[in-house]
Amino acid sequence: MLPRSGDVLHVTRAASVQFLRPIMFRVIRVHDWPTYDGWLWLDGYELNATGDAINRRSIFVQRAGLRQLCAAPEPRPHTVRARRQVARTPVRVG
């Protein structure tokens, strides 16, 4: 399963050798750039221990090495409002 915008991931060395020190990462988007099989480019924010964004990053990782800590909420269904009636004032002649 691909990460989605809003997912919080635990990124370790299992995802890429560049992560000797594991990070928490909140996904902004998954790029559709051509890569090696099983690898992804992700844009997002590195998070500190309290969950605050501390650094925006693009990372190249193996999908199999990612661990999801918190899933993004399901998108709400789109609702369409009915058009509102415009109040018209009568025009007086005379």
Domain ranges of the chain: 8-70
Predicted confidence band at 82 (pLDDT cuts at 50, 70, 90)?
confident
| Tally of residues, the chain | 94
Tokens of 87: 């109040």
- Tokens 């925006």 locate to 56
Q: What is the pTM of this model?
A: 0.74
Cα-to-chain-centroid distance, residue 82: 31
44 pLDDT higher than 70: yes
**3-state class of 64 per DSSP?**
helix
* Region label for 38, one of left (φ > 0), alpha (ψ between -120 and 50) or beta (otherwise): left
Residue 94 has pLDDT above 70, yes or no: no
